[in-house]
Chains A and B, each alone.
Chain A
Amino acid sequence: QVQLQESGPGLVKPSQTLSLTCTVSGGSISSGDHYWSWIRQPPGKGLEWIGYIYYSGSTYYKPSLKSRVSISVDRSKNQFSLKLSSVTAADTAVYYCARSDYYYDRSGRYVRISDFDYWGQGTLVTVSS
């Protein structure tokens, strides 16, 4: 059974960098069968996809967050990580890591995802001084 577990500080000061790690067990990131994403949910609000990474290190970020986001993978530890810089109170949210299947668009060139089949339990990150 695949399991994902987020870890990292629960409190980050404004203007600093939020750093989280997702540890995957019961499955290998290196298999190349899935993409690995970060998704967040502000308290009482809906879900927002942040970005994904493939085992090769290839990444794709939500354009509106791209300037502040970095996702990396450590295949030896079966982990992937999120860094979000210059945080403000608007970045306060429960952060989830998730696995997804993938398919290609009509051109056959570009990866598309939305089937997030395994999720971590989520970790609340509060941005406050």
Chain B
Amino acid sequence: QSVLTQPPSASGTPGQRVTISCSGGSSNTGTYYVSWFQQLPGTAPKLLIYRNNQRPSGVPDRFSGSKSGTSASLAISGLRSEDEADYYCAAWDDSLGGPAFGGGTKLTVL
């Protein structure tokens, strides 16, 4: 049971916009930066968003992040088949004493 709560699954059709939520509390997302990762099957996670809404170079601007209060969201616009993957949020958690990851959301492109 993670301290960061994500929906276990999400889906959309090609071209659609989907959002994935990450809900925490004052000891994590309410205080610290949120990051988002994409994990394609059989591969290591890839950083998509850091410091709530910043994109590393090379990450398409179809991916965007936001945070309000203790909740964060990852939005993917112009959904593509290659976006089908697991997505994880992360933030430092004072109660855990380290960075916490959400349980992950499996995105299916219908």
| A interface with B by C-beta (< 8 Å) | 46-49, 51, 60-63, 96, 101, 103, 105-106, 112-117, 119-122
Interface contact B97-A112, CB-CB below 8 Å: no
B86-99 near A? 1/0 per residue, CB < 8 Å? 00101110001111
Residue from the set B33, B45, B97, B99 with the largest chain A CB neighbour count within 10 Å: B99
Contact among A60, A101, A115, A119 for B98, CB-based, below 8 A: A60
Bound together, the chains give a CA A113 to CA B33 distance in angstroms of 9
Interface contact A120-B44, CB-CB below 8 Å: yes
Q: How many A-B residue pairs have CB under 8 A?
A: 68
Instruction: In the complex, identify which listed stretch (B11-19, B76-84, B101-109) lies at the interface while the others stay far away.
Output: B101-109
Q: Separation in Å of the A40 CB from the closest CB of chain B?
A: 11
Interface contact A47-B88, CB-CB below 8 Å: yes
Interface contact A46-B103, CB-CB below 8 Å: yes
Q: Does chain A have a CB within 8 A of B60?
A: no
Interface contact A119-B45, CB-CB below 8 Å: yes
Contact among B44, B46, B56, B102 for A46, CB-based, below 8 A: B102
Interface contact B50-A117, CB-CB below 8 Å: yes
Interface contact A101-B88, CB-CB below 8 Å: no
List the A side residues contacting B98 at CB < 8 Å.
49, 51, 60-63
